[in-house]
């Protein structure tokens, strides 16, 4: 009955889509903002020769730079104004969230509500600018030495002025993306930053698909490998779609209350706990933490003297931490598991939930309100988070390892698919919520109108 009612509500909502003017405006605004993002990815940095850069990137294709390039929508490959994407912001968010859980003054800010949240967001932006400056400087230094061994020069006029201008442009590009993401969140549909990351991944799909089938045509990739890869992608999408909507529902009982007919009735509801409470945050956070030092080391290694000790250290680190290497996969899996538990603890507070239930008279059958309820919620949440962490680790690490070993497109990796499917499901849910709100708003208006006529 519940599913039939949901389907009926969904059909009614879709039928009223043409009448939902505000929703259409939000969707068009989101599409327009993503188009602006894609246009910016083709605007190169001043002082960089795009043709030579493309030649050099083809010679050094593979590894961690391809992963960074995938998340940035090809901006790193073209060295555009938004080459760093939103990854510095995500890294800064990780640092601020960790600090807000450990530092007393930041913990106090976190409890101040909206004012504290704005202050933490301000600190996050300061951290983003700082990380952009560091990454931008190493990126500019690496560009100046990029291709020196092959006799090609990607930078037209190397020097301090080029490095300073590159840092300024990259900071401006990343901060503009953050502003664009905030506009999508407030005036569009879905989470702006997540949609920008998803748009960057999806934008690489035609290129990766073309390379895959071109490899099949030339014989470099077997037909069985292509079929197996397509089957793996379909299975992954089905698993992700199923698990992301899986919930553990806890029965909440409320005391008996007098109904309109004078009968005493007990109210019941459910407290839904998602199997994967953290969503796509753990793989994104883990990827960004690994991308930050590896990107700096790769470009710093390009500008270092080949006979120096620093060059050998950087090359050794890049070798052990390159995409698909055992150490990289181990750190990636550890990062996913850590952020699963950390972010779940951030977004769900068992003590606060238990206190709210106690204030409203609700309780879990067989569990005492208050401290015992908080302990039970923490126990249940820990168990389902273990399952969710295992699911995220397997979905992200195993396909990435297989793709790294076979040299197939990174778009088909578990991390990319997880982000795309999760953000798509979340955006569709928000669209349905807007449609239902519009539908109920019309029903309320009609009811008020009938009441006045009577």
CATH number for 347: 1.10.3370.10
State the pLDDT at residue 412: 57
Binned at pLDDT 50, 70 and 90, residue 97 comes out as confident
Residue 273 has pLDDT above 70, yes or no: yes
> How many helices and strands in the chain, by DSSP H and E?
18, 2
Average pLDDT estimate for 249-266 = 67
As for how many domains the chain has, the answer is: 1
Give the span between the Cα atoms of 143 and 302, in whole angstroms.
8
The widest CA-to-CA distance across the chain, in whole angstroms, is 92
Average pLDDT estimate for 163-185 = 92
Q: Tell me which residue has tokens 């100046």.
A: 144
Helix, strand or coil for residue 165? Answer: helix
Binned at pLDDT 50, 70 and 90, residue 366 comes out as confident
Choice between 146 and 96, residue whose per-residue pLDDT is larger:
96
What is the residue range of 135's domain?
A: 16-448
Percent with pLDDT over 70 in the chain? 75
Of the ranges 5-14, 100-109, 118-127, 292-301, which one carries the lowest mean pLDDT score? Answer: 5-14
Q: Tell me which residue has tokens 């409203």.
A: 360
Average pLDDT estimate for 213-218 = 77
State the pLDDT at residue 288: 73
CA 164, 165, 169, 175 dihedral sign is positive
Residue 360 has pLDDT above 70, yes or no: yes
Residue 10 has pLDDT above 50, yes or no: no
Report if residue 382 sits inside a domain.
Answer: yes
State the pLDDT at residue 13: 47
Binned at pLDDT 50, 70 and 90, residue 8 comes out as very low
Give the span between the Cα atoms of 436 and 447, in whole angstroms.
16
Give the span between the Cα atoms of 141 and 41, in whole angstroms.
21
Report if residue 7 sits inside a domain.
Answer: no
pTM of the model: 0.76
Condensed to tens digits (0 to 9), the pLDDT of residues 400-450 reads 777 776 666 555 567 788 888 888 888 888 888 877 776 666 556 555 555
Give the span between the Cα atoms of 306 and 308, in whole angstroms.
6
Binned at pLDDT 50, 70 and 90, residue 214 comes out as confident
Report if residue 11 sits inside a domain.
Answer: no
Condensed to tens digits (0 to 9), the pLDDT of residues 194-210 reads 898 888 888 877 777 77
Residue 298 has pLDDT above 70, yes or no: no
State the pLDDT at residue 168: 93
Residue 163 has pLDDT above 70, yes or no: yes
Using only the alpha carbons of the chain, give its radius of gyration. Answer: 25
Report if residue 58 sits inside a domain.
Answer: yes
Percent with pLDDT over 90 in the chain? 12
Report if residue 71 sits inside a domain.
Answer: yes
Binned at pLDDT 50, 70 and 90, residue 265 comes out as low
Report if residue 95 sits inside a domain.
Answer: yes
Q: Angle, nearest 10°, between helix axes 371-406 and 281-303?
A: 40
Binned at pLDDT 50, 70 and 90, residue 1 comes out as very low
Condensed to tens digits (0 to 9), the pLDDT of residues 14-60 reads 556 666 778 888 889 999 999 999 898 888 888 887 777 777 666 55
Assign residue 48 a region: left if phi > 0, alpha if psi is -120 to 50, beta otherwise? Answer: beta
Report if residue 393 sits inside a domain.
Answer: yes
Report if residue 3 sits inside a domain.
Answer: no
């Amino acid at each position: 009955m519940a599913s039939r009612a949901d389907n009926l509500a969904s059909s009614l909502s879709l039928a009223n889509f043409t009448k939902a003017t505000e929703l259409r405006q939000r969707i068009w605004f989101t599409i327009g903002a993503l188009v602006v993002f894609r246009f910016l990815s083709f605007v190169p940095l001043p002082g960089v020769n795009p043709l030579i850069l493309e030649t050099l990137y083809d010679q050094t294709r593979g590894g961690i730079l391809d992963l960074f390039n995938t998340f940035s929508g090809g901006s790193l490959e073209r060295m555009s104004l938004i080459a760093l994407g939103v990854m510095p912001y995500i890294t800064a968010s990780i640092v601020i969230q960790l600090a807000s859980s450990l530092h007393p003054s930041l913990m106090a800010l976190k409890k101040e509500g909206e004012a504290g949240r704005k202050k933490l967001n301000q600190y996050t932006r300061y951290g983003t600018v700082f990380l952009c400056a560091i990454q931008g400087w190493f990126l500019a230094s690496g560009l100046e030495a990029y291709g020196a061994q092959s006799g090609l020069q990607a930078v037209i006029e190397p020097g301090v002025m080029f490095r300073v201008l590159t840092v300024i442009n990259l900071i401006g590009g990343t901060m503009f993306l953050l502003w664009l993401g905030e506009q999508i969140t407030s005036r569009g549909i879905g989470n702006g930053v997540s949609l920008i990351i998803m748009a960057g991944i999806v934008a690489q799909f035609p290129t990766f698909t073309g390379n895959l089938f071109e490899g099949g045509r030339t014989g470099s990739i077997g037909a069985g490998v292509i079929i197996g890869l397509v089957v793996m992608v379909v299975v992954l999408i089905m698993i992700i779609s199923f698990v992301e909507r899986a919930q553990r529902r806890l029965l909440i009982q409320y005391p008996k209350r007098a109904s309109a007919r004078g009968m005493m009735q007990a109210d019941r509801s459910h407290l839904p706990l998602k199997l994967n409470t953290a969503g796509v945050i753990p793989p994104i956070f883990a990827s960004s933490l690994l991308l930050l030092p590896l990107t700096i080391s790769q470009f710093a290694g390009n500008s270092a003297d080949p006979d120096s000790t620093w060059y050998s250290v950087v090359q050794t680190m890049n070798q052990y931490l390159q995409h698909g290497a055992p150490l990289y996969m181990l750190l990636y899996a550890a990062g996913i598991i850590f952020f699963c538990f950390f972010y779940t603890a951030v977004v769900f507070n068992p003590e606060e939930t238990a206190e709210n239930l106690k204030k409203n008279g609700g309780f879990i059958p067989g569990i005492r309100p208050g401290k015992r309820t908080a302990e039970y919620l923490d126990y249940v949440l820990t168990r389902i988070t273990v399952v969710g962490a295992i699911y995220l680790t397997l979905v992200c690490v195993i396909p990435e390892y297989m793709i790294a070993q076979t040299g197939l497109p990174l778009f088909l990796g578990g991390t990319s698919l997880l982000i795309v499917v999760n953000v798509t499901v979340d955006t569709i849910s928000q669209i349905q919520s807007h449609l239902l709100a519009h539908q109920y708003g019309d029903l309320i208006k009609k009811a008020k109108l009938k009441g006045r006529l009577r």
